[in-house]
A and B are shown apart, each in its own frame.
Chain A
Amino acid sequence: MIKIQKEDFIPDKEINKIKNLYSNVGAVTSFTGYVRDINYNKKVELLNLEVYKEMAYKQFKKIISEANLRWKLIDCLIIHRYGKLYINSKIVLVSCFSEHRKDSLESCNFIMDYLKKDAPFWKNEYYKDNNEWLINSS
């Protein structure tokens, strides 16, 4: 399942919605990304996250398909927020559901690596007196 939304979400609730669909899930690995207060020694006030929504959907579908080819997965969940996000806000959730832990652990890491490198989102970080567009370093 893919969700690209402005709204906040509750990770456990989202994960359980999918987990409850399957009785053969033995492992769930999840990554949640948050807005930090300090970045490169600058005090952050908020992020304005821009997205190319149509492309992000298409690219997320592709990467989930690719993960399914590499690992034995039962389901995958990606939620990525956009818009104004304040300190401590959740930005992203990736959850991978499988029978065994290795498949969920490795696929979750794989999807996050892709997401950092290629998902069409841009963070505009706001400080007290100015703002700056970020580039992912990892």
Chain B
Amino acid sequence: MKIKYFAWIKDITNKEDEEINSEIIKNLDELKLFIKKKYPNLKTHLDKEILRFAVNHEYVINNIYLNAKDEIAIFPPVSGG
């Protein structure tokens, strides 16, 4: 699955996107755990629940199953308009 990062999250991950092996990640909660381990500096933000998640361009709040072809975006609160 493809993970995309936006705004200041990119400064922590040092990349805009990456492919993650979907064999080991079956749902959004597992993805969050994976990200916390891979990017310890994101842990505080994830624990405070200030980050937002979108799967295939739709906001997701609850834990949902993820598929190999999904595009998951992780981003901070928005500031458009």
Contact = CB atoms under 8 A, between A and B. Distances in A.
Interface of A: 33, 49-52, 54-56, 58-59, 80, 91-92, 112, 115-124, 133-136
Contact of A136 (B8, B54, B58, B78): B78
A119 B78 contact: yes
Contacts of B77: 135-136
Given A120-B54, A120-B78, A134-B79, A52 B59 contact: no
Contacts of A134: 79
A134 B78 CA distance: 8
A56 B58 CA distance: 10
Given A80-B80, A91-B81, A136-B81, 19 more contacts: A50-B6, A52-B54, A52-B73, A54-B57, A112-B81, A115-B81, A117-B78, A118-B78, A119-B80, A119-B81, A120-B6, A120-B75, A121-B81, A122-B7, A122-B78, A133-B8, A133-B79, A136-B77, A136-B80
A74 to B, nearest CB: 23
B4 interface: yes
A58 B78 CA distance: 16
B58 to A, nearest CB: 7
A133 B7 contact: yes
B57 A58 contact: yes
Contacts of B81: 33, 80, 91-92, 112, 115-116, 119, 121, 136
25 contacts: A33-B81, A49-B80, A50-B6, A50-B7, A52-B6, A52-B73, A55-B57, A58-B57, A80-B80, A91-B81, A92-B81, A115-B81, A116-B80, A116-B81, A118-B59, A119-B78, A120-B78, A120-B80, A122-B78, A122-B80, A123-B80, A133-B7, A133-B8, A135-B78, A136-B81
